[in-house]
Copies of this chain bind each other. A is one copy, B any other.
Amino acid sequence: MKTTQEILIAAKKAVAGLCGKTTEQKNAALLSMAAALESATEEILAANRQDLTAAQGNISTVMQDRLLLTKDRIGAMADGMRAVAKLPDAVGRVLESHQHPNGMLLQKVTVPMGVVAIIYESRPNVTSDAAALALKSGNVCILRSGKEAFCSAYAIVCALQKGLSAVGITPDAVQLIEDTSRASADELMRADGFVDLLIPRGGAGLIRRCVEHATVPCIQTGTGICHIYVDGAADVKKALTILENAKTSRPSVCNAAEVCLVDRAIAETFLPRMEERLCGSSAPHPVELRVDETAAVILPHAQKAGAQDFDTEFLDYILAVAVVDGVDGAVQHIAAHSTHHSEAIVTEDQTAADFFTAAVDSAAVYVNVSTRFTDGGEFGLGCEMGISTQKLHARGPMGLAELTTYKYIITGNGQIRK
């Protein structure tokens, strides 16, 4: 077994080889990795069966489905890598260029970060997605998969490394941490000088641990307590449609709504219609409401919200509901409870909409649109390495550009500073 330290050293060594590759060389590597992935389908499926057998009884059926690989799913992973090959290169772009009065030329040019480490959980496709995005952006990547998916991830990385070797790129450009204990995650968090960017993809516990312990640069991702505010001036039909979509189209993802805030001005008429739409007999999957005291008067049969319900990412068919005093009240509630991911206002009042978009401090702020659109693909990035909920460097969906940094290159002819 390779130690994490050995992997870090090998990754650092691989940086120089990767940062000089042309777009064509990187794209050829991605196609080669995709082909190698498909060629290794049998090995990967066998490894995946090991993971599934070990997981049985330990994880929920939803989690087991996330973990499950099939020939089709491996094909989709390979296609994902081919799609990344088609994206424009984010490296080598001249962001700014100007000539100093003394004649020297100053250029601000995008460059790879260097070594990007990703800590993630059980979805095996993250292994190939992350490797593809890192490689296309010229970065060496270190992957730390969740324990439950380790065998699958190991088989996938072996295939990807074969693909790299086939085109003359060091396999150390994509490496998997072999120690699946918490110690290896901690080691990555404190690998100063080795890890240029750490992206933790996982639950609130992992993110918090990174904030507390990481000394390497780190981007917080993912946790989404997303709010839909239904304003007094809302088109109620739009509001119901957006709310239903944001809550129920895919409750397990971070851009799903967890909280509905309703303007006191329309609470009495809106809340019963909302209850009927989300919880009534014609709802495809009934939603459990957890309502604050004011809403409880209007919806006497709904469950009352507990102290934590407005600070919980349910990731389930559960919706917390509160009545607020107009857009001001909504903004205040969001400021106190949001995770700065995605929030929406439903209103036909432009003034209320403008106030909401200016005052809400989140990565994505929507007017009359479902929060479910916060996604790299939907935002036109072509891909996604995660959704940043912090303000430094990257906010919202992270694509290839967010995996680069820049340097200034200044060329002259002997210029000195007076």
Contacts and interface: CB of A to CB of B under 8 A. Distances in A.
A76 interface: no
Interface in A338-358: 353, 357-358
Contacts of A245: 416-417
B417 A372 contact: yes
A5 interface: no
Interface residues of A, number: 66
Interface stretch (A144-152, A301-309, A386-394): A386-394
**Looking at A19, A196, A368, A396, which has the most chain B CB atoms within 10 Å of its CB?**
A368
Interface string A375-418: 00011100000000011110110000000011111111111111
A106 interface: yes
Contacts of A395: 405-408
Given A106-B379, A411-B353, A217 B391 contact: yes
B416 A370 contact: yes
A358 B414 contact: no
Query: Which of A192, A361, A395: most chain B CB closer than 10 A?
Result: A361
Contact of A379 (B365, B373, B408): B408
Which of A212, A358, A362, A392 has the most C-beta atoms of chain B within 10 angstroms of its own C-beta?
Answer: A392
Interface of A: 16, 19-20, 98, 100, 104, 106, 113-114, 192, 196-197, 211-212, 215, 217, 219, 235, 237-238, 241-242, 244-246, 249, 353, 357-359, 361-370, 372-374, 378-380, 390-393, 395-396, 405-418
